[in-house]
């Protein structure tokens, strides 16, 4: 299974970029992982860009404040279920400063909330990558998650 993070905008802040790249490399110890950065635009343009970024046989998770909240062990179980089934790509959609277009969120298989707090979209990417990495360490009973 491949992890794909599709996000609006480029992460330019050096500190956040360094942190995100570190977690993406850590995830790659367990599964192929890629980040796709989309150019911002109208809701329609973004909808088309998100749709083109989804590979076949994907389970799509939209990050939404109003989505379902999971603790880290539950997210690990979701990732394990995807890995054990026919899911080839686990795709996470991260919106821009105005969130995800409603149609993109509705089209996703699941909506996930990282927090009831509204996170800046740049920070949400880093938090997501850290939690995906944490999930893999939980599944392997490695000390990082303790």
Confidence band, pLDDT 50/70/90 cuts, at residue 117: confident
Which residues make beta-bridge pairs with 96? 99
Asked if 61 and 109 count as a contact pair (C-beta separation under 8 A), the reply is yes
Confidence band, pLDDT 50/70/90 cuts, at residue 86: confident
**Helical spans, DSSP H, in the chain:** 14-27, 43-53, 72-84, 102-107, 121-139
Tokens at residue 105, please?
Answer: 């969120």
Range 2-141: architecture per CATH:
3-Layer(aba) Sandwich (3.40)
| Global pTM value | 0.95
Confidence band, pLDDT 50/70/90 cuts, at residue 34: very high
């Amino acid at each position: 299974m491949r992890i794909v993070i599709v996000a609006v905008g480029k992460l330019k802040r050096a500190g956040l970029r360094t942190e995100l790249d570190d977690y993406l490399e850590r995830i790659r110890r367990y599964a192929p992982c890629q980040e796709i950065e989309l150019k911002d635009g109208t809701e329609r343009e973004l909808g088309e860009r998100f749709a083109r970024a989804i590979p076949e046989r994907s389970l799509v998770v939209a990050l939404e404040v109003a989505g379902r909240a999971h603790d880290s062990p539950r997210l690990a179980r979701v990732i394990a279920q995807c890995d054990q089934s026919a899911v080839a790509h686990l795709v996470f959609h991260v919106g821009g400063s105005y969130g995800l277009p409603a149609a993109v969120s509705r089209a996703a298989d699941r909506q996930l909330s990282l927090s009831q707090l509204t996170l800046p979209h740049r920070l949400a990417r880093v938090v997501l990558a850290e939690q995906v990495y944490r999930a893999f360490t939980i599944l392997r009973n490695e000390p990082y998650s303790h």
